[in-house]
Amino acid sequence: MAAVLVALLLVSACGSSSGKSGSASTAKHDSATTVTTKLLSFMPGTLTVKAGTKVTWVAGDGIGHTVTTGTFTVGSDGLRTAQHPDGKVNMPLSKGHDVSYTFTKPGKYTYYCSIHHGMNGVIVVTP
């Protein structure tokens, strides 16, 4: 009897699936609240949403990125020369691992990829 119980537990453990594997890469996203990476840029570069909206970043390329809010300066070559994260958002982003953040307060949120110094974006949150 114990052997049958162990066998049933093993079969159920091996056969169970949460359905979450790969769901990030196949999930449909609302273009009004989604930013996608493409050719080392955030698309769109500026996204305007209402307060309380969840914004999702999707890696549209096979390169690892970050979504990091804060301030930065850009040199004449268009690349960041300095970056200062503000601690609000700092998430790794990679193919199949979308990240999201809900912006609850109106304002202008600048963000960047801390790895690639040409990737910058803005989320404008309205009341």
Looking at residue 63, what is its pLDDT?
Answer: 92
Looking at residue 62, what is its pLDDT?
Answer: 87
CATH 3.40.50.80 assigned to domain 31-126? The reply is no
Measured CA to CA, the distance from residue 4 to residue 63 in angstroms comes to 47
Calculate what percentage of the chain has a pLDDT beyond 70.
Answer: 78
- Domain boundaries of the chain, sorted by first residue: 31-126
Give the E-state strand segments of 24-127 in sequence order: 34-37, 42-43, 46-50, 53-59, 65-74, 80-93, 99-103, 107-112, 120-126
Looking at residue 24, what is its pLDDT?
Answer: 40
- Give the mean pLDDT of the chain: 82
How remote is the C-alpha of 97 from its chain's centroid?
7
Instruction: State phi, psi for 13 to the nearest 5 degrees.
Output: -70, -40
| Helix (H) and strand (E) counts in the chain | 2, 9
Neighbours of 93 (CB within 10 A): 21
Looking at residue 27, what is its pLDDT?
Answer: 54
pLDDT tens across 65-118, in order? 999 999 999 999 999 999 999 999 999 999 999 999 999 999 999 999 999 999
pTM here is: 0.76
Has residue 15 got a pLDDT over 80? no
Amino acid letter, 53: T
